[in-house]
Amino acid sequence: MLDLAISVGQTQTPEAVLFWVLAPLTVAAALGMLLVKKAVHSAILMASVMVNLAVFYIAQDALFLGIVQIVVYTGAVMMLFLFILMLVGVDSSDSLTETIPGLRPIAIVAAVGFGGLMVSLIGRATLGRNAIGLDAANSLGNVEGIAQLLFSKYVWPFEVVSALLITAALGAMVLAHHQSIQMRPTQRQLSTQRFRGKSLANAAGLPAPGVFARHNAVDVPALLPDGTPAANSINATLQARGDMLNSGTFELGKVDTSKGEEK
Amino acid sequence: MDAANYLYLSALLFTIGAVGVVVRRNAIVVFMCVELMLNAANLAFVTFSRINGDLNGQVVAFFTMVVAACEVVVGLAIIVTIYRSRRSASVDDASLLKR
């Protein structure tokens, strides 16, 4: 920690200003990601952490990685996260009650221990020299330097990684593939069902929704000759959601006709 | 500026990510915390690349990014599959093997 305090005193360069402005922001965003309740807010904070890291990469002469960080992480990965969040349900906020008793204090103690260990380790480790910097390595340009390494020394790992990418894409397709449990009935089967079923009540088709000349929306059940609503004239989904109106409210005499248009 | 400051930041972010993996219950947030840990490791790689003056660290960070992208794709597919069958994205609900 002493080294950290000393290095705070040593900051003069523009990079130091950048670091001491952005690093607290990054840590705050990461902590916020941990503490906010809604998953969407976590995703936004994560995106800001990633953008900050991209700035750090560029500040450290890793131009290519900085750009890739923004394009791949903030652009693709975070959008994927948000996409899945929309799919799973945006307002499914995490209840922050702990299910395993004592998990949170243990986690915090372990984190403080681990973090303290790491920080003290970094503080104690010495290289015996100053940082070399990437000016020599980047003399041809950062992208060219990385390309040279990637396509000579690391060409085999590069190929393996491409196989991994293809495998991951295939795996995601297999996992996300939705197998329908039953066959979709054909037109022939539907017709047989209609005319050779137990009763011929629906042989001419189901009644259409709506009360004649009063309210023809799909959420109002049709009225049977005896005045009761016909439940099978409404889509089953609307019924299950409770999104249907009572057709009795549109009976003649109950609607105030003086206002002109109903509803 | 001392390049080790970036290492301190990296250690801090890694720790925060680890706490998130343990504490949070929404599978997607847990996943984002794993991503944070990977990003922290990447920052350390880039910093060490600068300290040592060669680009090997940056190439390794590049590979980490690719692997992280694969991991996100498969992991999110698993989350969607679990959500489809259990209607929940909480990691505590998927405990069928325990009972």
Q: Is B70 on the interface with A (CB under 8 A)?
A: yes
Assess contact for A214 and A250: CB atoms under 8 A.
yes
What pLDDT, in 10s, does the model give residues A108-137? Answer: 999 999 999 998 998 888 776 777 878 788
Total structural domains in chain B? 1
Q: What is the mean pLDDT of residues A181-185?
A: 83
Query: Across the interface, do B22 and A146 touch by the CB < 8 Å criterion?
Result: no
Query: With b meaning 16 or more CB within 10 Å and e meaning fewer, what string describes A197-210?
Result: eeeeeeeeeebebb
Query: Across the interface, do A134 and B7 touch by the CB < 8 Å criterion?
Result: no
The pLDDT confidence band at residue A224, using thresholds 50, 70 and 90, is: confident
Query: Across the interface, do B65 and A81 touch by the CB < 8 Å criterion?
Result: no
* Nearest by CB: A94 against B11, B14, B24: B24
Closest by CA to A251, choosing from A218, A203, A212, A194, is A212
Give a yes or no: residue B91 inside a domain. no
Task: Write out chain B residues lying below 8 Å of A13, CB-based.
Answer: 1
Instruction: Output B96 or A76, whichever has higher pLDDT.
Output: A76
Q: What is the mean pLDDT of residues A61-75?
A: 91
Assess contact for A60 and B50: CB atoms under 8 A.
yes
The per-residue DSSP string of chain B comes to --THHHHHHHHHHHHHHHHHHHH--BHHHHHHHHHHHHHHHHHHHHHHHHHHTSSHHHHHHHHHHHHHHHHHHHHHHHHHHHHHHHS--BTTT--GGG-
Query: Across the interface, do B1 and A13 touch by the CB < 8 Å criterion?
Result: yes
CA–CA separation, A131 and B3 (whole Å):
7
The pLDDT confidence band at residue A191, using thresholds 50, 70 and 90, is: confident
* Shortest distance, CA B42 to any CA of chain A (angstroms): 9
Q: What is the mean pLDDT of residues A220-226?
A: 77
Give a yes or no: residue B46 inside a domain. yes
Task: Write out chain B residues lying below 8 Å of A115, CB-based.
Answer: 11-12, 15
Q: What is the mean pLDDT of residues B16-42?
A: 92
Q: Which of A11, A44, A52, A65 to mutate to test the interface with B (most CBs of B within 10 A)?
A: A65
**Sign of the four-CA dihedral B50, A154, A73, A71:** positive
Residue A2 has pLDDT above 50, yes or no: yes
**What are the structure tokens assigned to A204, written together?**
């001419």
Please tell me which of A126-130, A149-153, A252-256 the model is most confident about, judged by mean pLDDT. Answer: A149-153
Give a yes or no: residue B42 inside a domain. yes
CA–CA separation, A81 and B72 (whole Å):
8
Give a yes or no: residue B5 inside a domain. no
pLDDT of residue A216: 62
Domain region containing B51: 24-84
Query: Across the interface, do A34 and B16 touch by the CB < 8 Å criterion?
Result: yes
* Nearest residue in A to B30, CA atom: A34
Q: Is B58 on the interface with A (CB under 8 A)?
A: yes
Range of lowest pLDDT (A28-37, A242-251, B59-68) = A242-251
Q: Is B97 on the interface with A (CB under 8 A)?
A: no
* Shortest distance, CA A117 to any CA of chain B (angstroms): 10
Query: With b meaning 16 or more CB within 10 Å and e meaning fewer, what string describes A7-28?
Result: beeeeeeeebeebeebbeebbe
- Can you state the angle between helices B56-86 and A142-150, rounded to 10 degrees? 80
Instruction: Output A51 or A141, whichever has higher pLDDT.
Output: A51
Assess contact for A71 and A79: CB atoms under 8 A.
no
Please tell me which of A84-93, A152-161, A231-240 the model is most confident about, judged by mean pLDDT. Answer: A152-161
What pLDDT, in 10s, does the model give residues B30-56? Answer: 999 999 999 999 999 999 999 888 899
Give a yes or no: residue B2 inside a domain. no
Task: Write out chain A residues lying below 8 Å of B2, CB-based.
Answer: 3, 7, 10, 131
* Shortest distance, CA B91 to any CA of chain A (angstroms): 11
The per-residue DSSP string of B81-97 comes to HHHHHHS--BTTT--GG
Give a yes or no: residue B65 inside a domain. yes
Q: What residue type is assigned to position A249 of the chain?
A: T
**What are the structure tokens assigned to B96, written together?**
């069928």
Angle at A245 between CA A243 and CA A250, to 5 degrees: 165
Please give the share of chain A, as a percent, with pLDDT higher than 90. Answer: 33
Instruction: Output A114 or A241, whichever has higher pLDDT.
Output: A114
pLDDT of residue A262: 44
Give a yes or no: residue B47 inside a domain. yes
Contacts (Cβ under 8 Å, ≥6 apart) of A107: B19, B22, B23
Q: How many residues does chain B have?
A: 99
Q: What is the mean pLDDT of residues A16-39?
A: 92
Q: What is the mean pLDDT of residues B9-35?
A: 92
Residue A258 has pLDDT above 80, yes or no: no
* Nearest residue in A to B9, CA atom: A23
